[in-house]
């Protein structure tokens, strides 16, 4: 089973405990616009993760952050790719520096950039 498929299955089954009808495999697949058999194969790791659009839709159905699902699928969203392509060396350097930072420090940095307080 792939990490992406396992995560999707666990998330769907967790939501199914509180709302068994809305989060059945069939209902989730229908909401996403894919066949239930295809979703089943993804969850079992028999199919690779779908494309970005399907992953983003699936994230919405499962109330999950699309970037989390894209990362688990080994993908980067188109908007992030465009941003990185503008300054590839700087982003590579920044990401390498962030890998050893604790989460709280990364979150503080994100907030500072977002709020323009840098």
Its pTM stands at 0.81
pLDDT at 114 over 90: no
Domains of the chain: 3-75 (1.10.260.40), 87-115 (no CATH)
- At 26-77, the pLDDT tens digits run 999 999 999 999 999 999 999 999 999 999 999 999 999 999 999 999 999 9
Which token pair is 45? Answer: 């790791």
Q: How many angstroms separate the CA atoms of 3 and 23, rounded?
A: 20
Classify residue 38 as exposed, middle or buried by CB count within 10 Å of its CB (0-12, 13-18, 19+).
middle
């Amino acid at each position: 089973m792939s990490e992406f498929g396992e995560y999707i299955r666990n998330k769907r089954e967790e939501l199914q405990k509180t709302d068994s009808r809305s989060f059945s495999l069939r209902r989730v697949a229908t909401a996403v616009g894919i066949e239930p058999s295809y979703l089943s194969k993804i969850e079992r790791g028999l199919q690779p993760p779908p494309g970005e659009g399907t992953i983003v839709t699936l994230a919405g159905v499962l109330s999950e952050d699309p970037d989390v699902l894209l990362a688990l699928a080994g993908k980067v969203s188109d908007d992030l790719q465009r941003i990185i392509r503008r300054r590839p060396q700087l982003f590579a350097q920044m990401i390498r520096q962030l890998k050893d930072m604790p989460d709280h420090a990364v979150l503080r940095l994100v907030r500072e950039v977002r709020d323009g307080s840098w």
